[in-house]
């Protein structure tokens, strides 16, 4: 509900479904609608090998972090829940039909029953560094530093001329429509352009239930340039109603020179105080969901991504 454009519309749609099953540790804005919640193990109960942040690395490193706590005997990891649901679905499809198990189906089931740690071990052993989970375990918490990254371009490029084509036809052909969309988003009649923001101690909405990360000065307010507040007769700290073509919210404003005149900024990941949410820390936080103002029908055509910034809005004093 917080991550999807037009979250308030999705909220109403999911509430009307016949059955909802979620995999989550919490009853949050989304899972509060679930008929069944399948809770996975916690982060300290499972092994970890980072892949995502290696994309930002400047050295060739590898680190394996084993689980710190024993797994609950009745608990399941995320991959085990997905596996068991998939296998149950396959069996349900075959109910009442005599089928011979093919090699492909047996191979698929074998892969589904292989843990991510075992899969990681196979990948490490077949890589050029000749590593393994066992070697990384023995390396300790710091892992292994295999030296600086080695250049792999242009050899790894699959283009015929071994060059990256930035002026691809699909991009060039989309430019006229992009310019038209930018002109259409130009604010008129007192509108302001809404952009999002994230804070250093916020990871979307994931960390809002940790009091140590949410303490201090509130960070949920709508940032507005002082000149824009003065024109509208709104005082710093007042509560305003923010309207877009998709929806509306009410939130406190904060006068700031960090935003340009004509631009307002609302942080992503807030708006937890809804009926049925059981997040003791997060529900105590003020703030609203910026995605109650974004529109899922406004999509950037080439990337297929929703337009989350430059949303025309109006602000008026809240009653």
Using alpha carbons only, how large is the chain's radius of gyration in Å?
Answer: 25
Assign 239 a pLDDT band (cuts: 50, 70, 90).
Answer: very high
20: left (phi over 0), alpha (psi -120 to 50) or beta: beta
User: Residue range 92-114: average pLDDT?
Assistant: 71
d(CA 211, CA 225): 30
d(CA 12, CA 91): 33
pLDDT at 301 over 50: yes
pLDDT at 99 over 70: no
pLDDT at 294 over 90: yes
Query: For all residues of the chain together, what is the average pLDDT?
Result: 90
CA atoms in the 13 A half-sphere facing the CB of 221: 17
CB atoms within 10 A of CB 298: 18
Higher pLDDT, 281 or 92: 281
CB atoms within 10 A of CB 191: 17
Tokens matching residue 277: 């949410």
pLDDT at 54 over 50: yes
> Bridge partners of 38?
23
B/e letters for 252-285, b = 16+ CB within 10 Å, e = fewer, are bbbbbeebeeebbbbbbbbbbeeeebebebbeeb
CB-based contact 177:301 (threshold 8 Å)? yes
Secondary structure element (H or E) that encloses residue 86, with its range: helix 78-94
Tokens matching residue 30: 């989304």
d(CA 307, CA 189): 21
The distance of Cα 132 from the centroid of its chain, to the nearest Å, equals: 30
User: Which residues are CB-contacts of 261 (< 8 A; sequence separation ≥ 6)?
Assistant: 225, 227, 228
User: Which value, to the nearest 10 degrees, does the dihedral of the CA atoms of residues 243, 182, 259, 191 take?
Assistant: -30
> Bridge partners of 196?
266
Assign 179 a pLDDT band (cuts: 50, 70, 90).
Answer: confident
CB-based contact 248:315 (threshold 8 Å)? no
- Please tell me the pTM assigned to this model: 0.81
d(CA 264, CA 256): 9
Tokens matching residue 141: 């918490």
At residue 95, the pLDDT reads 59
Extents of the domains making up the chain: 40-148, 186-317
Question: pLDDT tens digits for 181-235?
Answer: 777 767 888 999 999 998 887 877 888 999 899 998 999 999 999 999 999 999 9
d(CA 180, CA 215): 43
Assign 97 a pLDDT band (cuts: 50, 70, 90).
Answer: very low
CATH topology of domain 186-317: Barwin-like endoglucanases (2.40.40)
């Amino acid at each position: 509900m917080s991550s999807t454009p037009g979250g308030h519309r999705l909220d109403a749609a999911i509430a009307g479904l016949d059955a909802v099953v979620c995999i989550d540790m919490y009853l949050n804005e989304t899972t509060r609608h679930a008929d069944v919640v399948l809770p996975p193990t916690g982060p300290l109960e499972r092994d970890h090998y980072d892949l995502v942040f290696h994309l930002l690395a400047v050295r060739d490193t590898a680190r394996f972090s084993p689980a710190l706590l024993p797994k609950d005997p009745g608990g399941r990891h995320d991959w085990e829940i997905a596996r068991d649901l998939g296998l149950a679905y396959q069996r349900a499809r075959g109910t009442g039909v005599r089928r011979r198990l093919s090699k492909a189906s047996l191979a698929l089931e074998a892969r589904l029953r292989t843990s991510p740690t075992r899969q990681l071990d196979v990948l490490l052993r077949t890589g050029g560094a000749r590593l393994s989970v066992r070697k990384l375990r023995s390396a300790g918490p710091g892992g292994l530093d295999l030296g600086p990254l080695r250049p792999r371009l242009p050899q790894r490029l699959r283009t015929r001329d071994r060059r990256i084509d930035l002026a691809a036809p699909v991009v060039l052909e989309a430019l006229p429509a992009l310019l038209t969309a930018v002109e259409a988003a130009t604010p008129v009649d007192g509108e302001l352009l809404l952009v999002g923001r994230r804070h250093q101690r916020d990871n979307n909405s994931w960390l809002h239930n940790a009091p140590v990360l949410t303490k201090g000065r509130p960070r949920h307010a709508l940032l507005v340039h002082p000149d824009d507040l003065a024109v509208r007769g709104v005082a710093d700290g007042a509560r305003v109603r923010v309207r877009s073509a998709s929806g509306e919210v009410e939130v406190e404003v904060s006068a700031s020179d960090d935003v340009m005149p004509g631009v307002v900024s609302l942080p992503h990941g807030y708006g937890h105080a809804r009926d049925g949410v059981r997040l003791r820390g997060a529900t105590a936080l003020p703030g609203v969901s910026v995605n109650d103002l974004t529109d899922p029908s406004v999509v950037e055509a080439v990337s297929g991504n929703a337009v989350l910034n430059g949303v025309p809005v109006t602000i008026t004093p809240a009653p």
